[in-house]
Amino acid sequence: MIQFNNVTKKYGKTRALDDISLDIGKGKITGLLGPNGSGKTTMIKLITDLNKPSSGEVLIDQEPITQEVKKRIAYLPEIDHFYPWMKIKDAKNFVKTFYEDWDEILYEELLGFLELDENMGIKKISKGQRAKAKLLLAFSRRADIILLDEPLSGIDIFTREKIIETMIKDYREGEQSIVITTHEIKEIEHVIDDAVFLKQGKIVLQGEVEALRAEKNLSLVELMKEVYGDGKEF
């Protein structure tokens, strides 16, 4: 459904992505995995059209990424995109204005599930609560494509588990496609359907998690060690 056709992305002399071809399946949870600087965020930004390929093309359902196509995408960026003066509800109203697929009932439900209060000020909440707030805004839309860039980064194990639970709670298998970039392979191993391992802008291994595990008789974490050496890069 999300197709990368011979995509290269250069930043000056750096080749962030080097001739990538990949078809991310519809209705699945796909993990983009790899060490720092391997090209994960670059792939996400190309899908959102925040960046353009230097060569090659990225298509969604065979179409270039037009404004219309972008409306189908909910994107959780790696960086903190909130203004410090905002309360969670201000951030919500901001997103709600832009997207017709906003679901207020889902929002209310997720707010409780994530143990957040919409009157919490962004400036005052913890890093984990901010991570949950970002997730809340991405998942309160009925988007059929959800892109999560490092949603688990730098937060404690309990919050990570809550975030993973949120991901799968209302997941519409077969309809909704989730792409997640992360280093936390151990925690998402049981959640993702497909894995794509990146190294220096190239895909070094990809496939269905079940098939990869069965073929090599290794867990994803062990596979990661095989692909990246001792895994210290993570």
Ligand X SMILES: Nc1ncnc2c1ncn2[C@@H]1O[C@H](COP(=O)(O)OP(=O)(O)OP(=O)(O)O)[C@@H](O)[C@H]1O
- Contact positions vs ligand X (CB under 6 A): 11, 14, 16, 34, 36-42
Output phi, psi for 19, to 5 deg: 55, 55
Sheet of 55-60: strand order equals 14-24, 2-11, 55-60
| Non-local CB neighbours of 204 within 8 Å, separated by 6+ positions | 197, 198, 227
Q: Check: CB of residue 194 under 8 Å from CB of residue 31.
A: yes
Of residues 11 and 83, the one with the C-beta less far from ligand X: 11
Of residues 41 and 129, the one with the C-beta less far from ligand X: 41
Tell me, what DSSP letter sits at residue 87? B
Q: How far is the CB of 41 from ligand X (least distance, A)?
A: 3
Q: How far is the CB of 128 from ligand X (least distance, A)?
A: 19
Q: How far is the CB of 160 from ligand X (least distance, A)?
A: 16
Count of residues for the chain? 234
Of residues 27 and 37, the one with the C-beta less far from ligand X: 37
92: tokens are 């919500």
Q: How far is the CB of 61 from ligand X (least distance, A)?
A: 24
Of residues 39 and 151, the one with the C-beta less far from ligand X: 39
